[in-house]
Amino acid sequence: MATADAHLGDTSITGIVVAAGRSTRMGRGQGESKLLLPWADGRSIVETTVEALLASAVDEVIVVIGHDRQRIASRLESYSVRLVNNDDYEAGLSASIRCGVEAAGTTSRGFLIALADMPRIAPTTIDVLCNRLAHAGPDAIVVPVMDGRRGHPVVFGQDHRAGLLTLSGDKGARGLMEANTENVFEVAVNDSGIFADVDTPQAYEALRDAGPTPP
């Protein structure tokens, strides 16, 4: 977890890992979640993603689980994370974001929304985003950019808590960002992991073959 000097000022940020979906594009149907597929060094996709957040400047990590929750919870039992059940996970990504933000409470100064199927994100990228939020203020939304293209994760300042709690559908927080364009801060990073989500069997094989995640 983060140390006292890992972020600027008193800006505490909660990392929310969305890990509740059914992996339909992976063709896994009602079976085991794609997040449990092996990734590297004996760890699964979800473990690798969680480890990146735990090695970063976020102050707490919440993992929202739904589909295949027992297996995912079992895989994460040795990690310093808080698990939150989303019984309505089939309603889409927004339902999981709402669960995570609600669990974070009102004391967090920011919410970093991370997709559990993006195991190549570097902890240093998360640090840069958290530090930018500390400078930008509570109404900021910080998004990583590489080669002119936006990626994940995205950090929302505490002023957007109410907006995050009213999200609906499967588009996540995209609409909230579109409604607050003047508060969106793009941060240039050198990390292709911000685009690397494991959505299909082909993506899984290609990303694994790309080698270890950079520090």
Q: pLDDT tens-digit profile of 81-126?
A: 999 999 999 888 999 999 999 999 999 999 999 999 999 999 999 9
The reported pLDDT for the residue numbered 212 is 61
Q: Which amino acid is at 35?
A: L
Average pLDDT (41-45) is 93
Predicted confidence band at 130 (pLDDT cuts at 50, 70, 90)? very high
Kindly indicate the confidence band of residue 209, based on its pLDDT and cuts at 50, 70 and 90.
confident
Q: Answer with the residue of higher pLDDT: 4 or 36.
A: 36
DSSP for 38-92, please give it: EEETTEEHHHHHHHHHHTTT-SEEEEEEBTBHHHHHHHTTTSS-EEEE-TTGGG-
Q: What is the pLDDT of residues 138-166, one digit of tens each?
A: 999 999 999 999 999 999 999 999 999 99
Distance in angstroms (rounded) separating the CA atoms of residues 177 and 51: 27
Q: What is the pLDDT of residue 35?
A: 95
Taking only the tens place, the pLDDT of each residue in 180-198 is: 999 999 999 999 999 999 9
Say what the pLDDT of residue 170 is: 79
What are the structural domains, with CATH classification, of the chain?
A: 13-205 (3.90.550.10)
